[in-house]
A and B are shown apart, each in its own frame.
Chain A
Amino acid sequence: MIRWIDRRLGVDSWARKGLRKVFPDHWSFLLGEIALFTFLVLLATGIFLTLFYRPDATPVVYDGPYEPLRGREVSAAYESVLRLSFQVRAGLVMRQIHHWAALVFVASIVVHAARVFFTGAFRRPREVNWLVGVGLLVLALMMGFTGYSLPDDLLSGTGLRIAYSALISIPFIGPYLAYLAFGGEFPTHGIIPRLFVMHVMLFPALLIALITAHLAILVQQKHTQFPGPGRREDNVVGKRLWPSQVFKSTGLMLLTAAVLAVMGGLVQINPVWTYGPFDATIVSAPAQPDWYMGWLEGAIRLFPPFEPQIFGVTIPAMFIPGVVLPGVFFTLLALWPFLEQRVTRDMAEHHLLERPRDNPVRTGIGAGALAFVAILTLAGGNDVLALMFNIPVEAITWFFRIAVLVGPVVGGYVAYRIARDLRDGATPAFGRKRGVMLRRTPGGGYEEEGS
């Protein structure tokens, strides 16, 4: 069989070469694989869901088995999600696995990106793959947003409404963009089919193309490795792909899918029947988006009431937190390798990774950025926190308004100091010293490094 294929395609030697590829072993290199495997789960469950979902906002009267909504007028899209959840066998478990996988997909991309950032793996020659990776992150967010908007429930309708308000807030072109995107003034019937086409065709095609590029570039440039005995800039030390790495990766893929399956079975997520169908005159409270949108929600909630008029042009309060902030954030993220090159004047190729402590400034900046996003994410739940701790939401908002300015600076500085002290072998100013560097003496004993 294999010989039959090889005689026609000549792929045997190519495949053998591929399976002999050397792969450095480190647990953190598996984070990107988790993202990849989660994507496969999303594809498989997503195809199943597509066969039952109806991208149609036409009103119908619900007469399914879910008692509280029977007789209510709902959209055909919402009705199809309820039918999928209650009447299609294995439908609900597929839907819940899909939603959980979407949350894990974005999370694993974020953690993988943090690994690449803090170890300097984005440095030359890998700037291009960093850009592809940032593109994948943005696409993953768009996939998440378009996906959870499809059920046309009350919560997702609120998300769409806020997206519309952010779009319309852009000076000069905002109203035109919003009308083009939504097909008129919010709420429109036309938005559901558009979201559907983006979610099941446009974005997946782009995702698959970019994932292919991401992996092809990885193979072409070979993997980075941590410094160690025999590991140099001009070699790769590791185990061959076949058999151990293939086994490990396949095992990881199946285990990732297993965890998602158990979560999809046991842990309820996005129960749209309890939110109710979309209604332009109602909003549920507290309304929380999926976790990866929380930081933008937080920024919108924290932003002070500031709507200046410059030469008669209103700059809406939504514009800076809702449009400028994500724009600047992702631009800086994408340009980071080039910014760092410009500052450090380090244009050399790097295949050996750094530990976070080896580059305290970068570590500090990265930690500050993570703190910024984390504080905004918490602020996105200010109403939930107010309810939970029985504190006025105004007080919580003011706390976060200050924290989002102070927290990143403090967090970044602490991370910088810890990294610097660890690098220099000093006792860290924060936290306790975790170990000592020992040196073998000529006599066979040990002594502490630097003593």
Chain B
Amino acid sequence: MLVRLAFAASMVASIALVVLYLRGGERTAEGVLLGVALGGLGLGITVWATRLMDPPEVEEAREPLASPDGKSLVDMLRDEEDVTRRVVLVRMLLGAAGTLVAALAIPTLSLGPAPGSDLGRTKWRRGLRAVGADGRAVRPLDIPLEGVRTIFPEGFAGEPDSQAVVIRVAPGLLELEGRRAEWAPEDCVAYSKICTHAGCPVGLYRSAAHELLCPCHQSTFDVLRGAVPLFGPAVRPLPQLPLAVDEEGYLVALSDFTEAAGPSYWNIERSDEL
């Protein structure tokens, strides 16, 4: 009885599914009807198997897995003297096959360029103005106090490896060391926006604590002190972008980042020299 009911429900649902599809379709109803169509059939079959069938348990012997005659494939291959007697030919054959495989694997290198010095470099150069994602140049007062702007080098708006954040902090709070203090005109300090851990954009600024937070793995960087990591898995500070203000009052780069931007790799330069 239940089996009949289940099969009937499945049939009705299948027909309804076709009608629904022809009339334009609707996601939830499609899923439910498909579920009833499949489930009714499945339920019917399962109930049939468990309630209406009672086959006896039978026993089957397990034969040993190893080949019964005790001979091996290796012996059979070795017995052919036309192959095994010619030792030099066999070696040459294997050598040639190996060389061919190596030669055929080489085109894999077409998949990508070799990483050159560009890995640690960005598009920032001395004299390039900082622009927003819209390509418009940025002046210090365009940035609200304790606000964040994402900037790119002029002519490269949206360039992923050159993205930086500039923050205008309240006057007198910055505690940058040495030359770094000169790179932050009018209390505007800029850092690479690419996390030095896994490369996510360091997008969250906790203005009260003056911390930049990477939402991916919660690395936290101290904005006032050269973006040294305070918490989380990141080890290297975010590289600071040397900034100045040009005659027309726009933010302009003094050079590229002085350290490699982005996630670490084995031969990354970690010095702080210009």
Contacts and interface: CB of A to CB of B under 8 A. Distances in A.
Nearest to B58: A22
Interface in A224-270: 230, 233-240, 243-244, 247-248, 250-259, 261-266
B60 A22 contact: yes
Contacts of B199: 161-162, 164-165, 186
Contacts of B65: 125, 220-221, 349
A304 B41 contact: no
Interface in B31-55: 31-32, 34-39, 41-46, 48-50, 53, 55
Interface stretch (B77-85, B181-189, B243-251, B263-271): B263-271
Contacts of A255: 38-39, 42-43, 46
A283 B200 contact: yes
Contacts of B57: 237-239
A276 interface: no
A162 B115 contact: no
Given A248-B49, A318-B264, A258 B42 contact: yes
A61 B109 CA distance: 34
**Interface bin, chain B:** 35 or more
B111 interface: yes
Interface stretch (A85-93, A136-144, A332-340, A403-411): A85-93
B101 interface: no
Interface string A151-189: 000000010011011101111101110111111111100
A238 B160 CA distance: 62
Contacts of A253: 42
Contact of A239 (B27, B41, B58, B112): B58
Interface in B222-251: 229, 231-236
B265 A251 contact: no
B104 to A, nearest CB: 16
Interface residues of A, number: 98
B58 A314 contact: no
A286 B215 contact: yes
A149 interface: no
A195 to B, nearest CB: 13
Contacts of B35: 258-259, 261-262, 265
Given A180-B112, A263-B31, A161 B42 contact: no
B62 A236 contact: yes
B27 to A, nearest CB: 5
A285 interface: yes
Nearest to A312: B267
Contacts of A306: 235
Contacts of B268: 314, 316
Contact of A316 (B50, B229, B265): B265
A96 interface: yes
B38 A257 contact: yes
A89 B25 contact: yes
B267 A313 contact: yes
Interface string A180-220: 11111111000000000000000000000000000000001
A247 B48 contact: yes
A174 B35 CA distance: 47
A283 B229 CA distance: 19
Nearest to B230: A394
Nearest to B25: A89
Which 9 pairs between the two chains have the least Cβ-Cβ distance?
Answer: A265-B31, A254-B42, A258-B39, A251-B46, A285-B215, A247-B49, A280-B160, A262-B35, A316-B264
18 contacts: A96-B31, A180-B108, A183-B112, A237-B58, A239-B55, A247-B49, A251-B46, A261-B35, A265-B28, A265-B30, A285-B204, A300-B217, A302-B233, A313-B267, A314-B265, A314-B268, A314-B270, A394-B231
Interface of A: 21-22, 89-90, 92-93, 96-97, 125, 158, 161-162, 164-166, 168-172, 174-176, 178-187, 220-222, 230, 233-240, 243-244, 247-248, 250-259, 261-266, 280-287, 300-307, 309, 312-318, 321-322, 349, 351, 382-383, 393-394, 397
